[in-house]
Structure 1
């Protein structure tokens, strides 16, 4: 009788993986809480206007983009955990400073500081998680890690708006401080193995490779394109739904987004590891395009929610898949630099999209914008194929 030996998978849900995922969750929870509530605070309490709102969002994202390449380099030079603690500490200070945001200029300074901490902290968590996930379960692990960020995207806006409308901004800012403390506590729990550091000659001039990973750039460029499109969803969905008198459905948009994503997560991550990235990425790009196109055709609440589900299933899965590819394409000791490179382009796509699509929205309506964006997503299939997809070794999906 033949004895079949089963190979036991390496453990994924370790203390370190759970701790880094929860630290990331609380950081992104604060980000999304403030993203939806500060515009109201600016107009109602600081007598600001739409230009001020855009300035605050841009200042936060740009400061994060500037700090990401440096923090990616610091992960290798001064250590991963130390860089993370620097980031979450700056993020904590920024969270408590909102109590003093009594003018537009003060709030702008706080947003720059907060964005800097966000850029360092999220680059660190992305680099660290790559080292605590077993290589055999990279796609699955990055999928679950991204799920924590997706949950923050749902809980953050709901919690923030509920507190602002039912209690006060004072309580909101207290919660931001509390969640920042929790992010630090979970960061302290992490015992991350430090990758081998590159031996560099003393007084060597800094080069492009010190801050960016060239092997990550192809997939990061694809992420830039899709992030550009997704910025149109985050920036305009509430206004667009209001024009269609679908405010009630719009409040559930990201709940449906997360639900579809969570249901698919156990399958898509495993498929990524078993059959290769193309099996996951091509269908998800098509789902993302379908969701954006459906937004342009919305006439009822169920159509808006279905679009949210398709976008969650498509874009939500793509984000974790692209991040996995970005890390896998680089040497393990440069995981931090690879993560920084990926998110610099991802954030840049979001910032560029918010700015350019906002200008376009003054000339055409949102439905037309979503039609254009759906075409752009479809074109990204060719971009992905040229930059990465054609190089992927085909695997037998029937095994």
Structure 2
């Protein structure tokens, strides 16, 4: 029996649009705080707000975008979001104060939150149901590749050519997201007639349990995003710090053909528990790293662990929702996940004032293992109880 086709023009286009979205995000993530400190002589707190304001506006806009997807359709929301995102990227040339930049970051975050919600929803509709785990795995790789390339291009641009070239690069990449998004062909779907605004309509309840697990583990992942390069300098491995996420991405590339297929064939539990263990072991090895080999080995283990968990959890969130609720499910999952990232960045900043990075990463390995317990109660056990009740109901219907 032939498998339904995965690598269609639509799938490639939406994955490229997602790649350019996150490439813009990571280019500016690592450079705007540097720009604020150097060009505006702002405080470290003000520089940190460049990221915080962006993430908060993205988190707030996502549930609204999820509701709009259901009401007006995927393509309209996607194009509106990409236009806001690309348009906001043009505005970075003009502000003369930190407050002006923060206002643009607020608008840019709205476009990003809406666009990533729309893209995540559309790709779930494009991927054949029988290959959803595999497809989501490949799709999320576009984010991982942006995470590797974005800081590289961003730092090179601002260090060698200055802020103006940095902003030109971000504009080109942001418009790349718009162009590739325009090429996606979406079949018309029925829209909800629901018009009244309600807080209840901003959240998809079926996605909340797995999103909580994702957000819980994202707190540890945020410690990597924010401080792994600082830790590398602390243990005198600055010469290999830039390779951490390169190794992370290479291991992902090598594992993706297998992990996605196993998810579709055997279900999420067979994938999730080993991945959580690998994530924990990677953090343990990272905390005990004394040389380049163990430092990069930990990157590979974390890449295989967390890099597998994120698309698995997002797939669960989408599969547990009704088809017309996929947009809201995607928004719910990503909002709670981003809350974990934002909360983690804040909490880790407090923790490192009390302990060194080595101890932080070492203790994080035990925190990740608690995530396995959380996953059991919020997904495995909950799913088993639900299936048991369903089988009883079916048996009752047959007997009657």
Q: How many residue pairs end up in the alignment?
A: 384
**Alignment partner of 1:210 is 2:204:** no
**Is there any run of 5+ residues in structure 1 with no aligned partner, and where?**
1-6, 394-399
Contact 1:58/1:351 (CA < 8 Å) preserved in 2?
Answer: yes
Instruction: Work out the CA distance in 1 between the residues paired with 2:140 and 2:290.
Output: 31
| Deviation readout 1:70-110 (Å, 9 max, x if unpaired) | 00001111110110111111111111111123321111111
Shifted more, 320-329 versus 305-314: the winner is 305-314
Q: Equivalent of 2:352, from 333, 353, 361?
A: 361
Instruction: Work out the CA distance in 1 between the residues paired with 2:123 and 2:36.
Output: 35
Q: Give the TM-score taking structure 2 as reference length.
A: 0.94
Residue aligning to 1:339: 330
Residue aligning to 2:66: 72
Residue aligning to 1:149: 143
Contact 1:76/1:195 (CA < 8 Å) preserved in 2?
Answer: no
Contact 2:71/2:193 (CA < 8 Å) preserved in 1?
Answer: no
Instruction: Work out the CA distance in 2 between the residues paired with 1:183 and 1:68.
Output: 18
Structure richer in helix, relative to its length:
2
Instruction: Work out the CA distance in 2 between the residues paired with 1:391 and 1:139.
Output: 20
Alpha-carbon shift at residue 367 of structure 1 (Å): 1.4
SS at match of 1:363: coil
Q: Equivalent of 1:283, from 274, 284, 290?
A: 274
Instruction: Work out the CA distance in 1 between the residues paired with 2:105 and 2:316.
Output: 31
**Alignment partner of 1:106 is 2:100:** yes
Residue aligning to 2:295: 304
Residue aligning to 1:29: 23
Shifted more, 137-146 versus 186-195: the winner is 186-195
Residue aligning to 1:384: 375
**Alignment partner of 1:235 is 2:198:** no
Q: Equivalent of 1:252, from 243, 247, 256?
A: 243
Alpha-carbon shift at residue 372 of structure 1 (Å): 2.4
Contact 1:65/1:344 (CA < 8 Å) preserved in 2?
Answer: yes
Q: Equivalent of 1:20, from 10, 14, 37?
A: 14
Contact 2:81/2:112 (CA < 8 Å) preserved in 1?
Answer: yes
Residue aligning to 2:253: 262
Instruction: Work out the CA distance in 2 between the residues paired with 1:330 and 1:115.
Output: 26
Counterparts of residues 177-216 of structure 1 (less than 5 Å): 177-200=171-194, 204=196, 206-216=197-207
**Is there any run of 5+ residues in structure 2 with no aligned partner, and where?**
385-400
Instruction: Work out the CA distance in 1 between the residues paired with 2:271 and 2:292.
Output: 29
SS at match of 1:197: coil
Contact 1:34/1:160 (CA < 8 Å) preserved in 2?
Answer: yes
Alpha-carbon shift at residue 27 of structure 1 (Å): 0.5
Alpha-carbon shift at residue 121 of structure 1 (Å): 0.5
C-alpha RMSD over aligned residues: 1.2
Instruction: Work out the CA distance in 1 between the residues paired with 2:182 and 2:217.
Output: 34
Return structure 1 stretches of 4+ with deviation > 4 angstroms.
none
